[in-house]
Every structure is written in structure tokens, then in C-alpha cells.
């Protein structure tokens, strides 16, 4: 067996380093009862043309070894790296495996060696991903958001989180999770009574029995989702490109928000400010998400993922840099009306301008033209971009500037993807029907939840002229917060043809039904 090793860059909240391994494997004992164990499956993420991040979690302090090959036989090992997983990271570890061939099916094998007794080694767990192509090969991916929300957890008698199994059938190259990976503020109770009298019976854990406040409770929310067999099977086969939104911390939060709203009081938070929760939530998010880290700004969520000559994905963070919700954000542009914030806006403009990919997918954690209420008890304020009908103001000024830049810089073929509002829709933004008109027409596609309550539809804001080309949401008769068993769980599928370079977007439901689709032809630069 030939093992080629180079000095590695590691991404881990635990200790990490480069491995120089020989060609002779260390002998190990097979004392099954004593062997370390991978507790929550394996994941990969942020895959590009040269590699991606691999993640796993151990049940004890361990040395996690990752071997990478281009066949599932692992006869020829392309890379072998290790990372030590310790209590400080909740025994999670992740490593960036790079210098891999483009457009290649990659198999990775994860093993654990007990740090106290290194000769005792776990069973291997295998996963895979495909690196982005170097040529114009066809590309496909799925996106959605909102997992385990509104108390709808894992009901194993109903198959668990079945929409993940549905998405896996499409064999996508990757999955964009558009935020609300967890509902840190949403406890999971043992039983929920449905409108028809039946019981939804959740799998329960202690850490998910109350709104998350401690670091252990935030981490527990991620561990809860990974108890689902559909999620684990999906993660082992499909890389995740993840962003966050509000429920990774608490509903509708903004940086510096006092925890004084009625819903905060109902949740009985001990902390006085959302930033205290956000600090722990961010640590848990980065512990459990297989993301490439930022050297410039550790903990940063926004980033570009290049996926070959046909596609660049721009992952936004609409949560960490915003000003107050509903308090002065309808004024002229300034700190109170930041949404992405000046630094992220400048980054997005620069990266869009430099992109040579045919398609520029902007993955946003919130829609641009839907009105979302901030304080649900007082029916006060705005939570998203939309400020209500009329000229661009406040937060909308950032989006107006981005859209104007895309037009004047002749950045072609931008498409916006999002989730957040718990229904699915296709919006066509038409400057001829908008209050702000200095932009080129574009599409925004909304899809979710993937496993949470279904709501909507939300009212439109005419500032940027969104036109509803399709939507599916609960009817008045059905009501709101429908359980996953109602069948209104949604995701979107994107296919880019390697020959024509046309993009086909299909909105689908948990039953794998094609609800609506459109094909967009690329415009020349």
C-alpha cells in the first residue's frame, strides 16, 4: 500500500497537525468493548475542485485518522491525515483534505485510536464526495433549510427526517443548507398532539428539552439532528455547504439585542443579551459544521465556494453584521440599517466581479422581497430585508447597491437561493414593476422547510418588484405550523447542463413530486 503524505492544513477546534505516516500500519487490538466509537456518523463539506472538509465525532479523546482514496477498495491511499479530538471541541474534529484530483469520486475512511491506549482502534466509517470538475461537466445540487423546528423532531415510527432520504435519491453533488440547521430555541418534547388526534412521538434528549443556553446545550441540538438515520446516511454521501440564520441562536436575534422580548421571557433565558448566546452558538456551529475556516476572520460564515467553470456559490451571512431589527432600520443607510454590513457587501461585489464561472449562485439565508415580522407578540418591526412597499430605504439600500453593481459591472447570470419562510416559491424580480428600478431582472427561489413546521405565504414588498411565478404554502383551511407528516416539506434541485450551460431549477416536496420547474438560459458576458 502506497501512502502519499504532504504537510496538511487542519481545521479543528481540537488540537491538529500534519501527519508524516510510514507505509506500515500500527498494529491494533480488537477488544470490541473497549474500542472508541464514531458517535454521529461522518460528514463532508465545502468541497471544491481540489478537496473538501471531512468531519466526525468520537466518544472519547482520540486520534482521528482520515484516509482518502479514489475507489472504495482503498487499495491506493491518496492522502492520510490525522487530527486529535479532545473534550474542548466536544470530541469533534475536522480536516481539510486538499491536493485531490478535480472531478473525481473521492472515498474517505475515518478511524479513531484511543489516546490513552493508542493500540485500541475503532471500526472504520466510510463516506464519499465528488470534487468539483475542472471542465464543463454537468453539475447538480439541492438546497433547503429549517431542520427540527417548531418541536417537530425525530418520530422514528414515521420514518424520521424523511426529506433527507428523498434528497439523497437525486444523487446531488452537494447540498446548500440555507440556515436554521438547528432550532436552539425550540425544545423537543416527547409527544405533540396533531389536529386529527394522532400523536407525533419525538425521540428526546436532555439537551433538547429546553431552549439552549449553555455550550453543551447548543452542541446538543446538533447532536440531536445527527441521531436521525436519514440525516447520517445523507451526510455520508453528500457534502454540505452550510450557512446560519437566527435559530442557531434564538428567534429573530440581532447582535447586541437585549433578551427582553416576551418570547425571551417565556424561554427564561439567564443571559441578558443575545451576544452571550451567539458566542456559544457560533462555537457549536463551527464545531459541528464541516466548513473551511477563515484565517482572516475566525468564525466567519460568509465565503465563496468555487465549483468548477460552470458555478460559483456565494454563501452570505445575513445575521452576524446586521443592525437592530425594527429599531431605526428604516432610516437612511448607517449602522442601524446594516444587514450584510459594509465589509461583506464589499466582499460580495469584489468576488462577483472576479468570478469567471457561468453561474453565480447567491445563497442567502433570507428572501429579499418578503415581509417578515420581527416581534411576533407585538406585531412590530421587520426581521428581513423588506421594509414594506415604497422606495428603497434602510436595509434595502444595501441590496439596491448590490443589484445596481451587478447591472453596471455587467455581472451575468446571478441567481438567488434561500429558505427561512417555511414554504416554497419562485420569485421573478422585474425592474419594470419595482419602485427601485436600477437593476437587471433576476430569479429568487425559496424552498423549505426540510423538517419543521410549514407556514406562509408571506406578503410581498414591491421595492424590488418581485412577481410570484409559483408558490406552495398552507391554505387557510389547513392553518399554520403544519407537521412534517402533512407532506408540505420542500427542497429545490438545480441542474446545470455541461453542454448548453442552461440551469434548470425544480421545486420538489418530500414525496419527490416535481411541483414546478423552469430552465434559465445563460447570458453571454
The tens place of each residue's pLDDT in the chain, 525 residues long, gives 333 333 333 333 333 333 333 333 444 444 566 899 999 999 999 999 999 999 999 999 999 999 999 999 999 999 999 999 999 999 999 999 999 999 999 999 999 999 999 999 999 999 999 999 999 999 999 999 999 999 999 999 999 999 999 999 999 999 999 999 999 999 999 999 999 999 999 999 999 999 999 999 999 999 999 999 999 999 999 999 999 999 999 999 999 999 999 999 999 999 999 999 999 999 999 999 999 988 778 899 999 999 999 999 999 999 999 999 986 566 788 999 999 999 999 999 999 999 999 999 999 999 999 999 999 899 889 999 999 999 999 999 999 999 999 999 999 999 999 999 999 999 999 999 999 999 999 999 999 999 999 999 999 999 999 999 999 999 999 999 999 999 999 999 999 999 999 999 999 999 999 999 999 999 987
Q: Are residues 147 and 99 in the same domain?
A: no
Residue 115 is assigned to a structural domain of this protein: yes
Q: Are residues 216 and 310 in the same domain?
A: yes
Residue 59 is assigned to a structural domain of this protein: yes
Domain boundary among 82, 97, 130: 130
Domain boundary among 102, 130, 158: 130
Q: Are residues 112 and 146 in the same domain?
A: no
| Total domain count, the chain | 2
Q: Are residues 149 and 121 in the same domain?
A: no
Neighbours of 328 (CB within 10 A): 13
Nearest-angstrom CA–CA distance, 15 and 212 = 26
Q: What are the phi and psi torsion angles at 441 (to 5°)?
A: -60, 150
Helix%, strand%, coil% for the chain, nearest 5: 20, 30, 50
Q: Are residues 241 and 118 in the same domain?
A: no
pTM of the entire predicted model: 0.93
Q: Are residues 445 and 378 in the same domain?
A: yes
Domain boundary among 95, 130, 165: 130
Residue 12 is assigned to a structural domain of this protein: no
Residue 350 is assigned to a structural domain of this protein: yes
Q: Are residues 112 and 245 in the same domain?
A: no
Q: Are residues 115 and 154 in the same domain?
A: no
List Cβ<8 Å contacts ≥24 apart for 30-37.
31/120, 34/114, 34/117, 34/120, 35/114, 35/120, 35/121, 35/122, 35/123, 36/60, 36/62, 36/112, 36/113, 36/114, 36/120, 36/121, 36/122, 37/112, 37/122, 37/123
Looking up residue 121, the CATH number of its domain turns out to be 2.60.40.380
Q: Are residues 58 and 183 in the same domain?
A: no
Nearest-angstrom CA–CA distance, 92 and 83 = 10
Among residues 123, 155, 137, the alpha carbon closest in space to that of 307 is found at: 137
Q: Are residues 110 and 228 in the same domain?
A: no
Residue 297 is assigned to a structural domain of this protein: yes
DSSP 294: P
Domain carrying residue 40: 32-130
Q: Are residues 39 and 159 in the same domain?
A: no
Residue 9 is assigned to a structural domain of this protein: no
Residue 2 is assigned to a structural domain of this protein: no
Residue 525 is assigned to a structural domain of this protein: no
Looking up residue 325, the CATH number of its domain turns out to be 3.60.21.70
Q: Are residues 400 and 346 in the same domain?
A: yes
Amino acid at each position: 500500500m502506497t501512502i502519499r503524505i504532504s504537510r496538511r492544513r487542519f481545521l479543528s477546534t481540537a488540537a491538529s497537525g500534519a501527519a508524516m505516516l510510514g507505509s506500515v500500519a500500527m498494529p491494533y487490538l480488537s477488544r470490541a468493548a473497549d474500542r472508541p466509537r464514531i458517535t454521529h456518523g461522518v460528514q463532508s463539506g465545502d468541497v471544491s475542485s481540489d478537496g473538501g472538509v471531512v468531519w466526525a465525532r468520537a466518544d472519547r479523546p482520540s486520534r482521528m485518522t482520515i484516509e482518502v482514496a479514489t475507489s472504495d477498495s482503498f487499495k491506493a491511499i491518496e492522502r492520510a491525515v490525522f487530527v486529535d479530538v479532545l473534550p474542548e471541541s466536544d470530541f469533534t474534529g475536522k480536516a481539510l483534505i486538499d491536493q485531490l484530483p478535480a472531478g473525481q469520486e473521492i472515498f474517505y475512511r475515518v478511524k479513531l485510536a484511543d489516546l490513552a491506549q493508542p493500540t485500541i482502534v475503532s471500526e472504520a466509517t466510510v463516506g464519499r464526495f465528488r470534487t468539483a470538475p475542472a471542465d464543463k461537466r454537468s453539475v447538480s445540487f439541492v438546497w433547503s433549510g429549517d431542520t427540527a423546528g417548531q418541536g417537530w423532531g425525530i418520530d422514528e415510527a414515521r420514518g424520521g427526517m424523511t426529506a433527507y432520504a428523498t434528497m439523497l435519491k437525486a444523487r446531488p453533488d452537494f447540498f446548500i443548507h440555507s440556515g436554521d440547521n438547528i432550532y436552539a430555541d425550540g425544545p423537543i418534547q416527547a409527544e405533540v398532539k396533531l389536529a386529527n388526534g394522532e400523536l407525533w412521538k419525538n425521540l428526546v434528549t436532555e439537551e433538547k428539552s429546553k431552549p439552549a443556553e449553555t455550550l453543551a446545550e447548543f452542541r446538543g441540538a446538533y447532536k440531536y439532528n445527527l441521531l436521525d438515520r436519514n440525516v447520517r446516511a445523507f451526510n455520508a454521501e453528500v457534502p454540505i455547504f452550510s450557512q446560519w440564520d437566527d435559530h442557531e441562536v434564538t428567534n429573530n436575534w440581532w447582535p447586541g439585542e437585549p433578551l427582553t422580548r416576551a418570547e425571551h421571557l417565556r424561554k427564561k433565558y439567564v443571559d441578558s443579551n443575545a451576544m452571550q448566546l451567539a458566542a456559544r452558538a457560533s462555537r457549536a456551529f463551527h464545531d459541528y459544521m464541516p466548513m473551511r475556516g477563515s484565517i482572516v476572520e475566525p468564525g466567519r460564515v460568509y465565503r465563496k465556494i468555487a465549483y468548477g467553470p460552470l458555478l460559483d456559490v456565494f454563501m452570505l451571512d445575513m445575521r452576524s453584521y446586521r443592525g437592530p431589527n425594527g429599531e431605526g432600520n428604516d432610516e437612511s443607510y448607517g449602522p442601524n440599517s446594516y444587514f450584510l454590513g459594509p465589509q461583506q457587501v464589499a466582499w460580495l461585489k469584489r468576488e462577483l466581479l472576479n468570478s469567471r464561472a457561468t453561474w453565480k449562485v447567491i445563497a442567502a439565508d433570507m428572501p429579499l422581497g418578503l415581509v417578515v415580522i420581527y416581534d411576533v407578540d407585538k406585531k412590530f418591526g421587520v426581521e428581513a430585508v423588506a421594509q414594506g412597499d415604497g422606495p428603497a430605504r434602510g436595509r434595502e439600500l444595501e441590496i439596491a447597491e448590490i443589484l445596481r453593481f451587478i447591472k453596471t459591472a455587467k455581472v451575468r447570470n446571478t441567481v438567488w437561493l434561500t429558505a427561512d419562510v417555511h414554504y416554497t416559491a419562485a420569485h421573478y424580480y422585474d425592474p419594470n414593476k419595482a419602485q427601485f428600478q436600477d437593476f437587471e431582472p433576476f430569479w429568487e427561489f425559496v424552498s423549505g422547510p426540510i423538517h419543521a413546521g410549514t407556514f406562509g405565504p408571506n406578503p410581498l414588498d414591491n421595492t424590488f418588484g418581485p412577481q410570484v411565478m409559483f408558490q406552495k404554502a398552507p391554505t387557510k383551511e389547513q392553518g399554520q405550523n403544519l407537521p412534517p407528516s402533512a407532506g408540505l416539506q420542500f427542497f429545490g434541485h438545480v441542474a446545470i447542463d455541461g453542454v448548453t450551460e442552461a440551469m434548470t431549477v425544480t421545486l420538489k416536496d418530500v414525496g419527490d413530486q416535481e411541483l414546478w420547474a423552469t430552465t434559465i438560459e445563460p447570458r453571454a458576458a
